[in-house]
Amino acid sequence: MSTFDFIQSAQRTIDMEQQAVGLLKERINDAFNRACELILQCKGRAIVSGMGKSGHIGKKIAATLASTGTPAFFIHPGEASHGDLGMVTRDDVFIAISSSGSSPELVTLLPMIKRLGLPLIAMTGNPKSPLAEAADLILDIHVATEACPLDLAPTSSTTVTLVMGDALAVALLEARGFTAEDFAFSHPGGALGKKLLLHVTDIMHGGEALPCIQINTPLLDALAEISRKGFGITTVVDSQGLLAGVFTDGDLRRCLDNNIDVKSMSVGEVMSVNPRTVAPSALAAEAFNLMETHKITALVVADNGRPVGILHMHDMLQAGLV
C-alpha cells in the first residue's frame, strides 16, 4: 500500500486555489464594469477563444454565457486562422483567454481582430504581454503560483479564469433581468426545462378521458366510470357542471369498511368534498409538489370551478418530473 498522503495533497491544492480565487475579488474593478457594458451593448455575439487549458475553460465560459442570455460561442484559435474566423462578424466582441498572454495561435489572430474593428477583452495574467497590449480591456487573472507543486500544470490559473468567466456571466444575467423561464428555454431537454416549461394542460387527461359523473349518479355507476377511465378516481359535478367532489378507490374502501350498501347509495352521499385541484395553466412541477405534499396520486384539473382534466402521478413519471 502506498504511504503517500493523498488527502494532504488534495487539501493543499484546494487551499491554494481557494486563496487564488479570494485574491481575484480584489481585481473586480472598473475594467470588469466596462467589459460588462461592452458585452451588453454588443449587437452580435461574444466570441471566446483560448488555447490549451485556457481553451477548455473558454468553452465552458462561452457555454455559460450562451445559456444565461448572452449569445456566445467558442472559436479555436488554431482553426480560426484557417477559415473559422469567417464566423466572426463586425458586430461581435472578442474575449481572448491566455494566462501568459503570448499564446502564438492567439497572437496571430490579433491583427485580424483589430482589422475587423472588434472590441477585444483580454483575460490574461500578464499585463505586458502582446495580448494585453492589443486589448481594449484587461481582466486580470494572474495567480502567484499554480497549485501544481512544479508550478507548471494550469490549476489555480484555470480555476481563477473559470470564476472570472462565471462572474461575467452572472453579472450580465442580472443586468439583463434574465429569468428562470428564460433559462429553461435554452434547456428544454433537461429536468430544469421540464419543471419550468411544462404546464398541467400539456400532460393532463381531458375530454372523453376525463372521468366525470353527476352528483345523483348511483354509486355502482360511479364505480363503473372509475374502472372505465382507469385513474382510480372520478370527478362529481352538480347540475351546473361545477365540481362538487370526487369519489376514489380509497372512498370505496371506506364505504366497505363502514358496511355501506353500495347498491342503494348515490355517489353524492359518500363522495369526498372540497378536493384538491390545480389550474390547467399551472406548472406541472407545481401540481407534482401539491400531490407529494398531500400524498395523493391523482389531481383534478379545474377551470372556473369546472373539472377539465385529471392528472395522475404516472403522468409525472412519464414527463420526467419525478
Rounded CA gap, 168 and 186, in Å?
19
List the beta bridge partners of residue 212: 235
DSSP character string of 231-276: SSEEEEE-TTS-EEEEEEHHHHHHHHHTT--TTT-BHHHHPBPS--
pLDDT score for 316: 84
The contacts of residue 308 (CB under 8 Å, 6+ apart) are 204, 206, 210, 280, 301, 302
- The conformation of residue 295, written as its DSSP 8-state character, comes to T
Rounded CA gap, 30 and 143, in Å?
20
In which band, very low, low, confident or very high, does the pLDDT at 259 lie, cut at 50, 70 and 90? confident
**pTM of the complete model beyond 0.75:** no
pLDDT score for 190: 60
Average pLDDT for the chain: 91
Taken in order 257, 260, 265, 270, the sign of the CA dihedral is: negative
pLDDT digits (tens, 9 = 90+) for 87-111: 999 999 999 999 999 999 999 999 9
**193 in any annotated domain:** no
In which band, very low, low, confident or very high, does the pLDDT at 154 lie, cut at 50, 70 and 90? very high
Domain limits for position 52: 6-178
pLDDT score for 189: 58
pLDDT above 60 (res 1): no
**CATH code for position 286:** 3.10.580.10
Mean per-residue pLDDT for 229-256?
92
pLDDT digits (tens, 9 = 90+) for 159-175: 999 999 999 999 999 99
pLDDT score for 113: 94
**CATH code for position 74:** 3.40.50.10490
Is 315 found in the same domain as 263?
yes
Domain total in the chain = 2
Rounded CA gap, 212 and 221, in Å?
11
**What's the residue count for the chain?**
322
Of the chain, the end-to-end C-alpha distance in Å amounts to 43
Is 169 found in the same domain as 135?
yes
